[in-house]
């Protein structure tokens, strides 16, 4: 994470001087259930009883709470820490020597609070930018902790990063440092997307995965708004192309629109320099091969070019393309020429033994010839796309990513 090492020049005051369309949308961030890229133009709930109350009234409010400057110098306001100690409401990471009723300023992290009203907020409850950056670095450092199951780690970081976003929003921090922080938080959700996918058989984890996806899409669209808000002329931010490519990969399937907008429409308002970037070219090539069903090109491209984050997003599609490939070969292959699994496993970048069990989960039988080669008979009528096919199979392009 590079968010801690941003430039030392504080852009704090600068952030408050700027007035962006973003203000309106991020201010409602914690209130709106779904946020899409179009959030930018969704009217915020206005307080006036006149439905015509124009949003300029809102912006006036906005700048008045933009003055809010946090003074809390700990990851968790003292008031909250003491109260949660009393209520024994401490996450495992917050307990001092495992004591469920004792924490410390270096362990406690401010919880996300759903029903927060701008009027009740005190400066002492709000963490300033440098504290938020440190808090985020601390949280993301926990990602590699092996002490607890990943779900437990995820649950903690999930909640506490939400609270970080809330503090950023309420202080109206929308500068480049906020961009780095949002990028870090998107990364967290993307990696979690991948890690949780492996255990989708468990209904609890499936629902965690769903909630994670919800925050992933929200955080990503806020990040896009931040890029927009910090744009000078037509330059592209350092990681902007890669994060945009994640949007494309999230919307690969023509029926899955986690972010609510068809790709065609989304493409029509993304800037040309991003569309032509290397990362976006990759994502668009994946779109092409995925939609066409060209499994050879799909796996070639993934193995040759995908970044770790891109891979994490695409993982659910990997088996989808494999089962498509099996259905094509099973349907169109000559009955008297069964297809050697060894060959097919190379195309689909999977261990041969894994491919064999994958065939079985697609309802296809395999056999062995006299010299011991495994074969897939074609024209089997029993093919079906695996339901809840969350079982993890090897992906032979992955070794490069394992850190």
Partner 1 sequence: MAYLSMGEAHRRITEYLNRFSDAVSYQNGISLKSLFSLSSNSHFLLSLSDALILVNDFNRLINQNDNYSHFSDIISPLFRSLQHYKQSNFVEAYNAFEKTANAFVQEFRNWESAWALEAVYVVVYEIRVLAEKADRQLAAIGKSPEKLKGAGSLLMKVFGILAVKGAKRVGALYVTCQLFKIYFKLGTVNLCRSIIRSIETATTIFDFEEFPNRDKVTYMYYTGRLEVFNENFPSADYKLSYALKHCNQQHEANIRMILKYLIPVKLSIGILPNHRLLEKYNLLEYGNIVQALKRGDPRLLRSALQYHEDWFLRSGVYLVLEKVELQVYQRLVKKIYIIQKQRDPSRAHQVKLEVIVKALKWLEIDMDVDEVECIMAILIYKNLVKGYFAHKSKVAVLSKQDPFPKLNGKPVNS
For binding to partner 1 (CB under 8 A), which residues are involved? Answer: 19-21, 23-24, 36, 38, 41-43, 51-52, 54-56, 59, 254, 260-265, 267-269, 272, 275, 287-288, 291-297, 325, 327-329, 331-337, 339-340, 343, 347
Angle between helices 308-332 and 352-361 in degrees, nearest 10 = 60
We find the least distance from the C-beta atom of residue 81 to partner 1, in angstroms, to be 38
- Identify whether the C-beta of residue 118 lies closer than 8 Å to the C-beta of residue 125: no
If the CB atoms of residues 56 and 97 are measured against partner 1, the closer one turns out to be 56
We find the least distance from the C-beta atom of residue 326 to partner 1, in angstroms, to be 10
We find the least distance from the C-beta atom of residue 389 to partner 1, in angstroms, to be 19
- Identify whether the C-beta of residue 364 lies closer than 8 Å to the C-beta of residue 323: no
If the CB atoms of residues 113 and 270 are measured against partner 1, the closer one turns out to be 270
Closest CA to 361 of 392, 338, 398, 333: 392
If the CB atoms of residues 115 and 268 are measured against partner 1, the closer one turns out to be 268
Q: Which element (helix H / strand E) includes 374?
A: strand 374-376
If the CB atoms of residues 194 and 346 are measured against partner 1, the closer one turns out to be 346
Rounded Cα gap, residues 272 and 276, in angstroms: 6
If the CB atoms of residues 291 and 360 are measured against partner 1, the closer one turns out to be 291
Helix, strand or coil, per DSSP, at residue 254 = coil
We find the least distance from the C-beta atom of residue 350 to partner 1, in angstroms, to be 15
We find the least distance from the C-beta atom of residue 162 to partner 1, in angstroms, to be 25
What is the chain's alpha carbon radius of gyration, rounded to the nearest angstrom? 24
What pairs with residue 225 in β-bridges? none
We find the least distance from the C-beta atom of residue 54 to partner 1, in angstroms, to be 6
We find the least distance from the C-beta atom of residue 328 to partner 1, in angstroms, to be 4
CA 375 to chain centroid, in Å, comes to 39
Round to the nearest angstrom and report the end-to-end CA distance of the chain.
Answer: 14
If the CB atoms of residues 104 and 271 are measured against partner 1, the closer one turns out to be 271
If the CB atoms of residues 5 and 54 are measured against partner 1, the closer one turns out to be 54
Rounded Cα gap, residues 68 and 23, in angstroms: 14
If the CB atoms of residues 127 and 322 are measured against partner 1, the closer one turns out to be 322
Rounded Cα gap, residues 40 and 26, in angstroms: 8
Structure tokens at 40: 């930018």
We find the least distance from the C-beta atom of residue 39 to partner 1, in angstroms, to be 10
Q: Name the burial class of residue 396, with classes exposed (0-12), middle (13-18) and buried (19+) by CB atoms within 10 angstroms of its CB.
A: middle
Backbone phi, psi, residue 391, to 5°: -60, 140
């Amino acid at each position: 994470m590079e968010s801690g090492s941003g430039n030392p020049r504080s852009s704090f005051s600068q952030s408050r001087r700027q007035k962006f369309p973003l203000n309106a949308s991020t201010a409602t961030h914690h209130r709106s259930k779904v946020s899409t890229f179009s959030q930018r133009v969704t009217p915020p709930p206005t307080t006036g009883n006149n439905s015509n109350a124009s949003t300029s009234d809102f912006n006036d409010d906005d700048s008045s709470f933009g003055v809010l400057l946090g003074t809390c110098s700990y990851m968790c306001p003292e008031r909250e820490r003491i109260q949660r100690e009393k209520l024994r409401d401490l996450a495992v990471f917050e307990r001092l020597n495992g004591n469920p009723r004792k924490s410390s300023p270096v362990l406690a992290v401010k919880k996300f609070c759903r029903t927060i009203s701008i009027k009740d907020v005190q400066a002492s409850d709000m963490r300033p930018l440098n504290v938020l950056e440190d808090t985020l670095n601390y949280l993301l450092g926990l990602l590699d902790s092996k002490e607890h199951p990943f779900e437990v780690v995820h649950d903690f970081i999930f909640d506490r990063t939400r609270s970080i976003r809330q503090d950023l929003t309420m202080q109206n921090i929308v500068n480049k440092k906020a961009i780095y922080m949002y990028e870090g938080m998107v990364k967290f959700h993307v990696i979690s997307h991948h890690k949780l996918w492996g255990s989708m058989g468990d209904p609890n984890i499936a629902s965690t995965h769903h909630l994670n996806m919800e925050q992933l899409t929200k955080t990503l669209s806020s990040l896009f708004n931040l890029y927009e808000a910090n744009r000078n002329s037509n330059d592209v931010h350092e990681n902007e192309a890669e994060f945009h490519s994640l949007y494309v990969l999230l919307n690969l399937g023509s029926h899955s629109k986690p972010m609510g907008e068809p790709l065609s429409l989304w493409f029509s308002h993304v800037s040309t320099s991003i569309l032509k970037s290397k990362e976006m070219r990759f994502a668009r090539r994946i779109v092409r091969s995925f939609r066409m069903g060209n499994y050879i090109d799909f796996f070639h491209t993934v193995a040759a070019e995908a970044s770790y984050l891109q891979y994490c997003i695409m993982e659910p599609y990997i088996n989808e393309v494999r089962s498509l490939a099996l259905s094509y070969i099973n349907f169109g292959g000559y009955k008297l020429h069964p297809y050697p699994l060894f060959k097919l496993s190379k195309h689909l970048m999977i261990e041969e033994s894994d491919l064999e069990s994958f065939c079985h989960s697609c309802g296809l039988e395999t056999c062995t010839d006299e010299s011991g080669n495994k074969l897939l008979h074609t024209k089997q009528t029993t093919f079906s796309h695996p339901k809840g096919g969350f079982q993890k199979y090897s992906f032979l392009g992955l070794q490069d990513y394992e850190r």
